[in-house]
Structure 1
Amino acid sequence: MADVSPDQPTSPPICSARGCRASGVWALRWNNPRLHTPERRKTWLACAEHRSTLGDFLDARGFLREVAPVRPSPTLDGVDERDEVTG
């Protein structure tokens, strides 16, 4: 889980695709129903280029729950505090 303190500077969100260092502008919220309760959401961040490939990967497994834009901010404001950012 991302450990972000209000007193610590944060880096801009980065795409979760392997090797990509672009800004994450989409939040792909998902859960694995065999491991997580229905209300729990994990989040992968995606740049515009990787939004569909990351989304297709999650959707093919039945994990993708929603895709939402990340609010423009140097913090993870676009990610719900209940979300676990992975990547």
Structure 2
Amino acid sequence: MSDETPICSAKGCRTDAVWVLAWNNPKLHTPDRRKTWLACEEHREHLSQFLGVRGFLKDVMTLEQWERGTGTGAGSAADG
């Protein structure tokens, strides 16, 4: 991982990311593929709901858990 602090994926937000939202669009991705969005505390619920309503959300974990490799999918936290 680079020295840059990961930031939230919410439009216009520049806050440090705390959460990783792993998702998959079944129309575009194989079932085991995981794309990721990063979220700060403020935007975690909003981004989770956005993905969840579409049936895309697969997992939510802390950035620390993701970096330790306890995530369920492949990819980097900046993938998305």
- Segments of structure 2 that go 5 or more residues without pairing to the other structure are none
Alignment-derived partner of residue 53 in structure 1: 46
Q: Secondary structure of 1:34's partner? A: coil
1:43 pairs, out of 7, 14, 36, with 36
The 2-side partners of 1:32 and 1:49 are apart by 24
1:71 pairs, out of 64, 69, 73, with 64
> Normalising by the residue count of structure 1, what TM-score does the alignment of the two structures yield?
0.77
Task: List per-residue Cα deviations over 1:30-80 (Å, max 9, x = no partner).
Answer: 0000110010000000000000000000001000000000118xxx82576
Alignment-derived partner of residue 26 in structure 1: 19
**Residue 83 of structure 1, CA deviation:** 1.8
**Taking every aligned residue pair, what percent have the same amino acid on both sides?**
50
The 1-side partners of 2:49 and 2:19 are apart by 14
RMSD: 2.2
Give aligned pairs, total.
Answer: 76
The 2-side partners of 1:64 and 1:82 are apart by 15
1:83 pairs, out of 64, 75, 79, with 75
